[in-house]
Amino acid sequence: MLQLSQANSVSFRRWLRLTVVCVIAVSASPSMLLAETESDKGSDVPASDSSWLGEGQPFAMPAARVKSAADESNQEQAEPTKRDKTHQQTTVHEFELKNGLRLLVRPDPRAPVVVSQIWYRVGGSFEPVGQTGVSHVLEHMMFKGTDRFAAGELSDLVAQYGGMENAFTARDYTGYFQIWEKSRLPLSFAIEANRMQHLQIDPAEFEKEKRVVMEERRLRTDDSPGGTAYERLNAAAFVASPYRGPIIGWMHDIENLTVAQAQAWYMARYAPNNAIVVVAGDVDPEAVHQLAKTHFGDIEKKELPTLPDYSEVEQKGKKHLVVMDEVKVPQLTLGFVVPSIKTATDSLDVMALSMLAAVLDGGLSARFETELIRKQAVAASIGTSYDPFARGDVLFAIQATPNQGVELAELEQQILEQIYQLQQTPPKQSEIDRALVQLRANEVYSEDSISQQASRLGQLAVIDVDWRMAQQWVELLAKVTPADVQRVAEEFLQSKRLTVVELVPESTPELVADSAVNTKPKASAKSKSTASPAQKSTQRSKGGSSSDAAANPSAEPVE
């Protein structure tokens, strides 16, 4: 997406060296400097104008901490465990500028790298009818030119300084990020401050990027039977919620988007008081704060549009869809409309639903894997997804592929039977404990990624949830009891909240069997239960996330 500044040859390169390297007081490897090429010539960036990068406002540690690379290396050799010890004591530092921009800084000195993310409160759920996909198309255009950089030049700048960058659009937010050596953080802030204010949408580039997004939609959804089925699930499950529409947009809306619509969307939503900057890595929090004031502090705040209404009407009964597509193996998806962290009347419900997902589908010892794949052999694969970090109600979804010779109706019946058992009898404490062990392990492993550290903070802060919950999440889950799991299974996995989507080969007659309409599990040779789980219920995620990527191909943020 982004590309780079092919700028003023020798003078521009000298200017960047002085501003980014010397001012920062960090030694730069020659391989990190821009190579002289013919494509460097002809940029409209004045070599003498370094104000956009914040010259005179160095990104440096306080004077007492500034030391040469050799001194720092010797210090580390003398105290080999200092970095690890410092990391264990790390806390998140929060700042807010006068214009409303929020800054979260998570120091992690274990490696000399940094990730810089900026999250905007705008995404697919904000879009009006007829303009679905405008947030994602605009995300693409943010790499296609500003008042200082032509299309692609920003990405080249990141690449030539050894960085990685990308962007993402989700239901409730749009984000941009760079990862690189820690001394390059001023470039991240300079880039984001520039395109927060001075995006220029060229009509020719806009039409070209629309075609790119349309092709992306074909790849993710139109030519993906699983993606199509999940898109239809969302459209059917939600009645009033803005989560009904696809993040990437409907094809006809993308095709009909105009430059004026994208420009208006940008002007309304891209503002410092609608943004959260998250930085994680080997940085000093106060130095980052000062750097943020240098680059973002003078940007005017805006009067923002009101947030969408995320209210969902009461679900009145089970819905059933049959999607016929070019598949050889059928697939079954069950989606229950359940509360998120923003809509739950009691946050414990969210923790219990998360633990319920883990009990059903938390590894090889979980119930679905044990009962439906190994013992009964009705499912070849099964996955559960529940992403509670959202502004509106969300789906607790189960996606399964039947074993050869097993009908979808039988597979659905057995899934509902497993849910019914949890509604009647709480899980064993050992099941809760096993799930917690896995969740704690995931927490530990995530600490090795500065990107995950930053994303966990940003994903909560951007939906106006206290970011501290990211650090307390596993401990909050540890408070869930088996009785809590039983309670939410009974309360929220009800048949009236359920939408079932069958994905079948195009040659299959579109006949809906009585067993697929009635959620009451029928007694079978494989199940001795004669009770009806549907009378009480029926019911798992990058998103940050859990296993949404595997079970839900179109719920993932689009890039």
DSSP codes of every residue in 223-235: T-HHHHHHHHHHH
Q: In the structure, what pLDDT confidence band is assigned to residue 49 with cuts at 50, 70 and 90?
A: very low
Establish if 49 belongs to a structural domain. no
Establish if 65 belongs to a structural domain. no
Name every residue whose Cβ is closer than 8 Å to that of residue 502 and which is 6 or more positions away in sequence.
Answer: 320, 321, 322, 323, 330, 331, 332, 408, 516
Between CA 212 and CA 220 the distance in angstroms is 12
The model's pLDDT over 333-377, given as tens digits with 9 standing for 90+, comes to: 999 999 999 999 999 999 999 999 999 998 899 999 999 999 999
Residue 17: predicted pLDDT:
34
DSSP code for 43:
-
Residue 509: predicted pLDDT:
61
Residue 265 sits in the same domain as residue 329: no
Annotated catalytic, 139? yes
Domain total for the chain? 2
Between CA 423 and CA 425 the distance in angstroms is 6
pLDDT at 72 exceeding the cut of 80 = no
Residue 288 sits in the same domain as residue 343: no
Share of residues in the chain with pLDDT > 70 (%): 75
Other Cβ atoms closer than 10 A to 148: 21
Residue 439: predicted pLDDT:
87
For 448, the 3-state DSSP assignment is coil
- Report the candidate in 97, 158, 114, 390 with the shortest Cα–Cα distance to residue 278: 114
Share of residues in the chain with pLDDT > 90 (%): 70
Q: 264, 296, 328 — which closes off a domain?
A: 296
Residue 490 belongs to a domain with what CATH number? 3.30.830.10
- Of 57 and 455, the structure prediction assigns the larger pLDDT to 455
Residue 522: predicted pLDDT:
47
Name the amino acid, one letter, at 478: A
Establish if 488 belongs to a structural domain. yes
pTM given for the model: 0.78
For 457, the token pair is: 């903070």
DSSP code for 200:
-
Residue 140 sits in the same domain as residue 281: yes
Residue 46: predicted pLDDT:
32
The model's pLDDT over 394-436, given as tens digits with 9 standing for 90+, comes to: 999 999 999 999 999 999 999 999 999 999 999 999 999 999 9
Residue 443 sits in the same domain as residue 540: yes
Establish if 509 belongs to a structural domain. yes
Residue 379 sits in the same domain as residue 475: yes
Q: Give the mean model confidence (pLDDT) for residues 221-240.
A: 96
> Of the residues 72, 76, 96, 139, which is catalytic?
139
- Residue whose tokens read 């004669």: 530
Residue 176 sits in the same domain as residue 107: yes
For 108, the 3-state DSSP assignment is coil
Residue 507: predicted pLDDT:
80
Q: In the structure, what pLDDT confidence band is assigned to residue 173 with cuts at 50, 70 and 90?
A: very high
Average pLDDT across the chain, whole number: 81
Q: Give the mean model confidence (pLDDT) for residues 146-163.
A: 92
Between CA 399 and CA 77 the distance in angstroms is 51
Residue 416: predicted pLDDT:
97
The model's pLDDT over 28-47, given as tens digits with 9 standing for 90+, comes to: 332 222 222 333 333 333 33
Between CA 386 and CA 548 the distance in angstroms is 7
Establish if 558 belongs to a structural domain. no
With beta carbons less than 8 A apart as the criterion, state whether 434 and 482 touch.
no
- Of 103 and 532, the structure prediction assigns the larger pLDDT to 103
With beta carbons less than 8 A apart as the criterion, state whether 254 and 217 touch.
yes
Residue 354 sits in the same domain as residue 428: yes
Q: Give the mean model confidence (pLDDT) for residues 378-394.
A: 96
Other Cβ atoms closer than 10 A to 436: 18
Residue 189 sits in the same domain as residue 333: no
Establish if 303 belongs to a structural domain. no
Q: In the structure, what pLDDT confidence band is assigned to residue 62 with cuts at 50, 70 and 90?
A: very low
Residue 280 sits in the same domain as residue 340: no
Residue 107 sits in the same domain as residue 229: yes
Residue 289 sits in the same domain as residue 354: no
With beta carbons less than 8 A apart as the criterion, state whether 51 and 193 touch.
no
Question: Greatest CA separation found in the chain?
Answer: 81
The residues pairing with 370 across neighbouring beta strands, listed in sequence order, are: none
Pairing of strands 113-120, 174-181: antiparallel
DSSP code for 554:
T
With beta carbons less than 8 A apart as the criterion, state whether 263 and 89 touch.
no
- Report the candidate in 148, 160, 162 with the shortest Cα–Cα distance to residue 193: 148
With beta carbons less than 8 A apart as the criterion, state whether 54 and 291 touch.
yes
Residue 511 CA, chain-centre distance (Å), reads 37
**Whole domain around residue 230: which residue ranges?**
86-296
Residue 80: predicted pLDDT:
41
Q: In the structure, what pLDDT confidence band is assigned to residue 21 with cuts at 50, 70 and 90?
A: very low
Establish if 251 belongs to a structural domain. yes
pLDDT at 14 exceeding the cut of 70 = no
Residue 279 sits in the same domain as residue 341: no
Establish if 46 belongs to a structural domain. no
Q: Could you write out the DSSP letters of every residue in 327-383?
A: -SS-EEEEEEEE--TTT-SSHHHHHHHHHHHHHHHSSTTSHIIIIIIIIS--EEEEE
pLDDT at 329 exceeding the cut of 70 = yes
The model's pLDDT over 265-314, given as tens digits with 9 standing for 90+, comes to: 999 999 999 999 999 999 999 999 999 999 999 999 999 999 999 999 99
